[in-house]
Amino acid sequence: MHYWLMKSEPDAFSYDDLVAKGKAEWDGVRNHAAQGHMKAMRKGDLAFFYHSNIGVEAVGIMTIVEEAAPDSTDETGKWIAVHVAPREKLAKPVTLTAMKADPALADMAMLRQSRLSVSPLTKEQFDHIVAMSKA
DNA sequence: GCCAACGTTGGC
DNA sequence: GCCAACGTTGGC
């Protein structure tokens, strides 16, 4: 089991949009580092849904339901996508500010490279953010 | 193969 | 709307 954090601008696609659809292809990722992380995802892995630009916070947890397959929005055949489904909405969103302020998350990949749209989390980091959402 | 120019992402 | 970080492109 591995843990991830995935960014989306909520005015384009939000966590509530995912809940409404039930399942969605996480497409449009055009960055090699982020693609590498998506290729490493396995069915059953968990990922935070993070709202960039608006909110700037983790809002929910998703399950990876289908592993890497060709991105249906890509005509070149070079890029892959995974499929995700909503698991649970966080009781309280965890903001980027709160993550940055927490020493336990100092090594988080996203904090070290803010533009990375798909990033890995350790189990400790994942559990810590879940705990913050319930505090 | 280096590096400057340029475009995009994303936080503020 | 600005700007820093970072990726990509193209000239040499």
pLDDT above 90 for A26: yes
pLDDT for residue A90: 98
- pLDDT tens digit string along A37-69? 999 999 999 999 999 999 999 999 999 999 999
- pLDDT above 70 covers a percentage of chain A that reads 100
d(CA A53, CA A113): 16
- pLDDT tens digit string along A78-104? 899 999 999 999 999 999 999 999 999
Question: Domain extents for chain A?
Answer: 3-134
Whether the beta carbon of A78 falls within 7 A of nucleic chain C: the reply is: no
Considering the entire predicted model, what is its pTM? 0.95
Whether the beta carbon of A100 falls within 7 A of nucleic chain C: the reply is: no
pLDDT above 90 for A107: yes
Nearest nucleotide, C1' to the C-alpha of A30? C7
pLDDT above 90 for A76: no
Whether the beta carbon of A33 falls within 7 A of nucleic chain C: the reply is: yes
Residue A109 DSSP SS3: helix
Q: Which fold has domain A3-134?
A: ph1033 like fold (3.10.590)
What does the angle CA A121 – CA A124 – CA A126 come to, to the nearest 5 degrees?
50
- Residue A96, both tokens: 């980027």
CA-to-C1' distance for A22 and C4, Å?
A: 37
